[in-house]
A and B are shown apart, each in its own frame.
Chain A
Amino acid sequence: MTVPPRPPSHPAITAGVVLALLLGVHAKATVDFTREVQPIIAEHCFHCHGPDDKDRKAGYRIDLRDPALKGGRSDLPGIVPGKPEASEIIARIFSADSEEVMPPPKENKKLTAAQKETLKRWVQEGAPYAQHWAFVPPAKSPLPASTAANPTAAPNAIDAFVAAGLRAANLSPSAPADPAVLCRRIHLDLIGLPPSPKEVAEFVAGAAASGLPAAVESLSRRLMSDPRFGERWARVWLDVARYADSNGFEKDLPREQWAWRDWVINAFNRDQPYDQFIIDQLAGDLIPGATQDQIIATGFLRNGMVNEEGAIIPEQFRIEGMFDRMDCVGKAVMGLSLQCAQCHTHKFDPITHDEYFGLYGFLNNTYEAQSWVRTPEQRQELDRLHSDLRGVDERSKKALTEWREQLSAWEAGIVDRRIKWTPLEPYELASTSGLNHPVQLPDKSILTLGHPTTRGDIFVLAKPELNGVTGLQLEALTHGDLEFGGPGRSKYGTWALSELEVSTQAPDSDKWEKVALRHATADFAEAVRGLEEEWKAGFDKERKRIVGPADFMIDGSNDTAWRADRGPGRRNSPSVAVVQFVEPLNLPAGTKLKVLLRMHHSGDDNGRHNTALGCCRISLTNASAPKAEPVDYGAVLALSTPADQRTEEQRTTIFRAWRANFSEAKKFNAEAEVLWKKYPGAATSVLHLAERDRVQTRPTRLLDRGSWDKPRHEVPPHVPAALNPWPEGAPKDRLQFARWLVSPQSPLAARVAVNRVWQAVFGTGLVETPEDFGTRTPVPEHHQLLDWLAVDFMANCWSHKHLLRTIISSRTYQQTSAGAPALLERDPANRLLARGPRFRGEAEVVRDTALSIAGLLHPKVGGPSIFPPVPENVLAYNYVRPTYWNPPQDAERYRRSLYLFRKRSMPDPMLSAFDAPNGDFACARRPRSNTPLAALTSLNEPVFVEAAQALALRIWREGGSTDESRADYAYRLCTSRGARPAEIAALRRLLDDKRARIRSGELQANEIAFSSLTKISDLPSDATPADLAAWAIVARVLLNLDETLTKS
C-alpha cells in the first residue's frame, strides 16, 4: 500500500515497456499502438483532447484518427502520417517553449524522452490507430507451441500461454506444489475452507495411487458439488453487488435481503450460466412467466443504500440510488467506470454524457418494490389456496345460475350511482413536522416516501374553487414503490388513519375555520380492536389506541383510527372512505382548503414500525349525501375499465365483490372467507426492481452535471456506440438491455467475469483493475490468455465450474508458491506466473478457517443473517442503537461469515479489520492489509478465542496422547501438513512454560480453557483444566500462524 507516489512525479510507463522489461526483450521494431501509444495518449492527452467535447481544448481531438490527423482550430494538421516533422503534435510535445509544449506544464503530465520518441516513431510509421483492446471482442488465438526448452507439451491452454511468456523471459515454471499444499489450496479456492487432516491424507494417497491429475480432478469435482462451493463464490459476487443487511445513511434500518443472497449461493451451486445469472439479476422480473427466483434475483439492483433520514426529498436519493446501480453494473458486468460519465462525457472512454443516460434509461422505468418470498411448501400451499378459491368461484357460478345477469345489474347500479369527484391539486403538500415531503403524481394521487414517520401527519393545501361541496373522498391506493404495493408503509404495506381534518380559509382572512364532518363511510373497515403488540409505542403506554370504522377518522381523537386491513392475501389493495360535510361548503376563488391526515397508530421503534398511509387521493364532490359504496374498492376501480378490456384478475375481483354483496351467496362467501384465513405466511421478503405500470412510465432526462434537480432533455434508452451493437429491432427495455450486456458479441462481459474468477484464485486479476477495462487500462501481459479463457467460458455455457476446472487443472495453478529468491527478485508481483499463488485469505476465509479448524463451524447453508458478538462500545455508538442485535448463544454463533449481519454504518469490526468492504458501494477488488488491528482481532476477538478453546479440546481428543502427536495433529488441522521438529520443539517450550505457570497458580486454567459458553463438564475424562488451558494458549498461536491465515 503505500503511497502511490503522486502522479506528476511518476510518469506512466507503458505496458509495452514494462512487458519488455519483464520479458527481458528489446522493444519491437514497429511501435504497437495499443500497447505503446494508447497508454501514453490516454494518460497525457485525453483529459483535454479526448471524447468529452465540452472541455475539449483548442478543438483538437486525439482519441480518434481522423480528427487527430486533421488538427484543431489552428490550421495546422495534427498528425501527418509518416512525417513527424510536419505533425503539430510532435512539434508541440518536443517544444521547449512553456507556452507551446504539450501537455502544458500546469497539468503535471510531462512526457518522458522515451515516450516522446515512441510517439515520434509511431507518427513516422504512419500513425496507425487500433481500437482499444478491451472494446474488441475477444478471440481465441492458437496456443503457443511448446519448444525444446519446455519439452513437456502443455496440456492446458493456461500453461501454454504462461509457458510462452516464461520462455520469452527466460524463466522456468516452479516445481509442482506438495500434494498436501495443493489439496489445501484447492479447498480454499473452491469452498473457502481448509481440508481436514483426513481429507488431506486421502488426497495424498489418491495422488500416489492414481496420479495427481486424477486426484485433482476427483477432488475438484467433489468440492464443486459441495454446497459450500456456492457459499464461497457467492461472497465474491456479494462484494461487487454491494450486499448489506441494512439501508445505510443515518437511520440505517435493517432490511431483509438474504433471500437474494441465498439465490446467489444457489446460482453458483447449480452453475447457472453467467449470462443467465446476469439477465436474471437485471431483468428476471421481465422474463415471461417469471418465477419467484427470478424476482428475487432482481434484488441485485436493490442492494444499494436507501436514505430514510427526516426531511429528505425521496427523488434526490432515488437518483443517487440510480447512480449507484449504474456504478455497480459498470464495475460488476461491464468493467467500465461508468461513474465518470455521470456528470459529463467520460474523459477517457468513449461514453458520452447522453450515452450514460441512455444506459440509465434502461433501469430508470422501475419501482423500488418489495415482495414476499415463500418456501416451496408455502408456494404450494398458496397455489392450492388460489385453486380452492377458484373452485369456490366455479361452484358458486354453477349454483347461482343467474349470476351473469345479476352481476351486470349490480354493476349498472354502481355505475349509475357514481358521483363526480374532483381531486385536490395542492399548491402545498407537506407534513407538519417537515419529516416528509409528499408529492402529487399525474393521476392526482399523493405519494409519501422517505422518512418512516411513526407519529405525524401530512397535509394538503388547495384552492379548489367549488361550490356546494358536500363531502370528501379519501382513496387509499396501491403503488409499486410501497412495501408490497401498499397502500400503507408498514412492513406489510398496511396503514391506519387516526384523524382526518378539513378546514378552510376565506380569501380575505388569515383564520382557518374547521369544517364540521359527519357520517364517514368506507368500502371496508376492520372490527373495533386494540392495536396489535407489534405496533405498541412508548407514547401509548396505557394502550389506549384502537382501530375500527371510518368514523374513527372524524371523532376528534387520535386514539382511534380507521383501518382496512383485509388480512394476508388481500391487504395490499385499495380502499375508500367518504365523509360528508355537515353544511355544504362554498369555496369561492381564493379560498384555501386544508386537509390534514393524522397518523398516530404506528409503533415507534425508530421507524421500523411505521404504519403511515403511503399513497392516497383526496377529492371533493357536490353530489348530495355522498357515501362510499360498500363494495370492495378494488372492484369499483376495476369497473372503470371497459368490460371487454378487463383482465382475468379484474374480472375475478369484480365477481367476488359482487358475490360478497349478494345475499344468496352467503354459503360461498363463508367458504371463501375460511380459505382466506388459511393464507400461508412467507419466509421472508426481498427488495427488488419492478417495471412501472404503463400509465406511470418514467421517461429519463439527462441530468445536468449529474444534479438530480437539473433535468434537461429527454434521453431514450440506448447503448454506447463504442460497444457491441444493439440487436436490430429489439425492444428498448430492461430485459433486452440485460441480454445485450451479456451478449456473446460483448467485448467485455466474459472478460470481466473470467478476470474476477482469476483474481479470486491468484490474488490479482489478469487485468489488475477488474472494475476498469477502459482506455487507461493497458493491454494485460496475458492478453491472449484472458481472451482465450473468455471465449472458452462463453463456449462452455458461461460455466464458472468449467472455468475453475480449467484453472485448477493447470500446471500454472499447481506450482509451488515458494519462490526462489531470484524469481522473487525478478517478478515480485508474480505477473508472469512462474510460481503459484500465495496470499492471506479474505476476512471471511480467516474467520471460517478458524471455526473450521476448531470444529465449531455450523454447516447450515442459507437463511437469515446472524448477529456476531460486537463489543458494547461499538453497539452503543450508533446513531440509533440496533435493538435487534442479539448474537446467538448456541451453535448458530459459528455460522459461516457469509451470514454475518452487515450493518453499513457499523462495519463488522472483525471483518473490516481484514479488509472486507461494508457495502456502501460496489467493490470489485479488496485491499489486503497487514495491520495491528487485524492481529489483535484474530488474537482476542471472542469468536477467535472460543475457537482457540475448542481447538484445544479437539487437539486433546483427536491428537493422540503425547505432546508431539498432538502438536503434529494441530499443525495438520491448521496448515494441512505435519509439524516439523523445530515447530514441535517451539510448541513444547510454550506448553511447558504455561503448564508450569498454571501449576504455580500464576495463571488460572479455567479462565483460559473455558468461555462463558462452555463448561468444565465438557472436559474429557482424561484431561485437567490445566491440560486444556495450556493447549488453548498454543491453539491461539496456531490460529494466528501465517500459514493458517494464508492460502499457500
Chain B
Amino acid sequence: MIPSAELRAARARLLSRRWFLQDCGVGMAGLALSSLLARDAQAKAPANPLAVRAPHFKPKAKRVIYMFMAGAPSHLELFDHKPELQKRDGQLPPAELLKDYRAAFINPNSALLGPKYNFAPHGQSGIPFSELIPNIASIADDLCVIRSMQTEAVNHAPGQIMMNTGSQQFGRPSFGSWTLYGLGSESEKLPGYVVLTSAKGTSGGASNYGCGFLPTVYGGIPFRGTGDPVLYLSNPAGFDARAQRASLDTLNELNELARVDTGDPEVAARIQSYEMAYQLQTSAPELMDLSSEPAHVLEAYGITDVKQSNYARNCLLARRLIERGVRFVQLFHEAWDQHGDLTKAIKKNCEDTDRASAALVKDLKQRGLLDDTLVVWGGEFGRTPMVQGGNDGRDHHNRCFTMWLAGGGLKKGHVHGETDELGFNVVRDPVHVHDLNATLLHLLGLEHTQLTYRFQGRDFRLTDVHGHVVNDIIA
C-alpha cells in the first residue's frame, strides 16, 4: 500500500496534525494537550504541508516575484530591436518563413510592420531597449533578457495556462503552487503564495494561479486591491476586534472540549486555522497599508495615491510581501493584447508598468533582497512581425518572444538567445516555456525532474516530460 505520493500526502496530513500538537501547542494558551503530546512524542512527523522544506540542492534564490504581463506584450516594440523589419515595413514576409506557420487571427501572408518605437543601448552592457521603457532600460545591467522564448499555444487562455502551469490543458498546478509544494512557506502570518492583480481579469482566470491537483493549501491567494484584501477578512457589521477575539476564545474553548472528547487531531488543526485567520485579520491590512512607506519610495514606484489599486501599488506590495517571508508573489496585468491601436495602447501600458517594475528591482537590490529573489517579467507569447488590420496591430506569435529576469543566481546585463532579422524565428539558443520553468526551479534549488506529485497513477511535473535547465543564464 502507500503506492503514491497522494497517499503519502494523506498520511502526512495526519502526521501534520501531530506536528501541530507538538510544535504549535505552546502558542495556544489554554489548550490541554499534554496527554496527547506525550503519546505523540515518538512521531517524527515531517509536518505541516507548508513547513519549510529543504530544496534538492543549494538554491540561488529563495523566493519569486513573477510579473505576468497577460495578453502578450510585443517583443518588437519593447525588447527585440529589428531595424530590418523597419526597412521591410509594408513588404510581404519571405514565403519560406511561413511554412507550417500559424498565427491566430491573420493570414500569415500579411505585410510586415516596422517597429513603432525607437531603441537605444543602455548601461555598461549596452542592451538595447525601446524608448517606451526608460526605467527598465535604466536597470539594464541588472537584467537577464531572454529573447528566444517559445511556446506552442497561440490563443490566450491556453497560452497563459501553458506559461503558468506548463500545460495547455486546464487542471495542472501553477508554478507558484509547485514552488510552495517544493519549498514550503516561511511566512507565519501570510499565505505562502500571494496573487496581486491589476487592469482586467486574465483570459486564463483563476486557473493561472490555481493548485490544480495539488492540495488546496498550495494555491495562490489573491490579495485584492479594493474591498477586503483577503476575501471575508472583515468581521460582520457591528463586530469590533474585541468581540471577534471573545468569539474566537469561546469557539476555541468549545472546540477544545470536542477535541478532548473525540481524540481527533483534526479538531486541533481546525482550532489552529481559526487562530491563523485571526492573525490574518491583522497581518493582511497591515501589509496593504502603505502609509508607513516613505515618500521617496512611493515616488520611486510612481504611487501618487496609496489607496489606489494599480500595478505600481502591487509592485510595492510585492516587496512588502517578500519582506514578510512570502515565498511566491505573482502579479497579473492583463492589458497587452494589441491586435490594433498598438502605438497608443502599448505606450499606455508602459506608462502604467515601466516605472514600478524597475523600481521594484531597484528597491529589492537596495535592500539586499535581489540576490536571493527571482524576478520574472513576461507574457504568454509574442506578437507577429506582420501587421494585423490597417497598420497598427500585431497578432499572436508563438515562435519567439522576450522575457526578462533579474536577481537570484542570474547573469546580469546579459542577453540570451537571438531571433532572426525580422523577429520571427529564434536563430540561437531557443528557450521553451518548459526550459524556463526548469531553470527557475533550478535557481530555487529544485531539480525539475524530481519535483513530482503522483496523481492518477502518474508522477506529474511542472515541466511534463520536457525541459532543460538553461545554464547559460545562470551566473
Contacts and interface: CB of A to CB of B under 8 A. Distances in A.
A953 B22 CA distance: 41
A39 B4 CA distance: 11
Interface string B270-308: 111110110111000000000000000000000000000
A887 to B, nearest CB: 16
A405 B359 CA distance: 88
B95 interface: no
Interface residues of B, number: 115
Contacts of A649: none
Interface string B1-33: 111111111111111100000000000000000
B215 A1 contact: yes
Given A1-B9, A309-B156, A838 B266 contact: yes
B457 A776 contact: yes
B148 interface: no
Interface in A300-331: 305, 307, 309-312, 320, 323-324, 331
Interface in A1-23: 1-8, 10, 12-15, 17-19
Interface in A919-942: 920-921, 927, 929-937, 939-941
B255 interface: yes
Interface in B297-350: 334
Given A2-B49, A905-B207, A777 B9 contact: no
A990 B262 contact: no
Given A18-B2, A931-B217, A986-B254, A777 B231 contact: no
Contact of A331 (B56, B170, B456): B456
Contact of A1 (B12, B157, B243, B271): B12
B221 to A, nearest CB: 7
B474 interface: no
Contacts of B215: 1-2, 927, 929
B42 to A, nearest CB: 9
Given A309-B203, A340-B456, A877-B201, A776 B2 contact: no
A421 interface: no
A874 B223 CA distance: 11
Contacts of A920: 170-171, 207
Contact of B14 (A311, A435, A828, A980): A828
B97 interface: no
Nearest to B5: A4
Contact of A921 (B16, B51, B171): B171
A989 B254 CA distance: 12
Contacts of A12: 2-3
Given A339-B456, A776-B3, A937-B232, A840 B227 contact: no
Contacts of B200: 877, 879
B155 interface: yes
A818 B263 contact: yes
A817 B261 CA distance: 10
Given A935-B273, A994-B246, A1041-B254, A7 B452 contact: yes
A622 B231 CA distance: 68
A1007 B155 contact: no
Contacts of A937: 231-232
Contacts of A643: none
A10 B236 contact: no
Interface stretch (A490-498, A564-572, A767-775, A859-867): A767-775
B395 interface: yes
Given A819-B263, A1036-B247, A249 B395 contact: no
Given A250-B203, A769-B4, A1002 B240 contact: yes
A877 B157 contact: no
Contacts of B170: 248, 305, 920-921
B126 interface: no
Given A828-B14, A930-B269, A1 B231 contact: no
Contacts of B257: 980, 982-983
**What range describes how many residues of A lie at the interface?**
35 or more
Q: Which of A873, A933, A934, A1004 has the most CB of B within 10 A?
A: A933
Contacts of B232: 871, 909, 933, 936-937, 939-941
A428 interface: yes
Interface string B188-222: 00000000010011111111000000011100011
Nearest to A820: B263
A89 to B, nearest CB: 21
Contacts of B53: 3
Nearest to B219: A912
B107 A2 contact: no
Contact of B230 (A4, A347, A933, A997): A933
A1012 to B, nearest CB: 9
A1040 interface: yes
B3 A997 contact: no
B452 A6 contact: yes
Nearest to A709: B102
Q: Which of B105, B184, B203 has the most CB of A within 10 A?
A: B105
Contacts of B121: none
A311 B276 CA distance: 46
Contact of B46 (A3, A904, A1043): A3
A1007 B263 contact: no
A821 B38 CA distance: 11
B273 A1033 contact: no
Contacts of B11: 828-829
Contacts of B451: 6
Contacts of A39: 3
Contacts of A287: none
A694 to B, nearest CB: 32
B99 interface: no
B13 A2 contact: yes
A1043 B274 CA distance: 15
A987 B249 CA distance: 11
A149 to B, nearest CB: 24
A840 B262 CA distance: 13
Contacts of A249: 157-158, 203
A932 B235 contact: no
Q: Which of A839, A877, A927, A1004 has the most CB of B within 10 A?
A: A877
A878 interface: yes
A434 B272 CA distance: 54
A474 B169 CA distance: 38
Q: Which of B226, B273, B454, B457 has the most CB of A within 10 A?
A: B457
B255 A1042 contact: yes
Q: Which of B8, B103, B236, B270 has the most CB of A within 10 A?
A: B236
B34 interface: no
A211 to B, nearest CB: 26
B250 interface: yes
B104 A320 contact: no
A605 B297 CA distance: 42
Contact of A4 (B6, B156, B158, B281): B6
Contacts of A948: 236
B263 A824 contact: yes
A998 B11 CA distance: 47
B16 A2 contact: yes
Nearest to B452: A7
Given A4-B5, A820-B263, A1004 B238 contact: yes
B216 A927 contact: yes
Interface in A802-849: 817-821, 824-825, 828-829, 838-840
Contacts of B3: 12, 15, 39, 43, 769, 776-778
B47 interface: yes
Interface in B237-260: 237-240, 242-243, 246-247, 250-251, 253-255, 257-259
Given A13-B1, A1005-B238, A1033-B239, 7 more contacts: A2-B9, A249-B158, A323-B169, A340-B456, A768-B7, A993-B246, A1036-B247
16 contacts: A1-B9, A1-B215, A6-B450, A311-B155, A339-B458, A340-B456, A348-B457, A769-B456, A821-B36, A829-B11, A879-B334, A904-B205, A906-B205, A929-B216, A1029-B238, A1033-B243
The 4 closest A-B pairs by CB, nearest first: A434-B105, A905-B205, A1007-B238, A4-B5
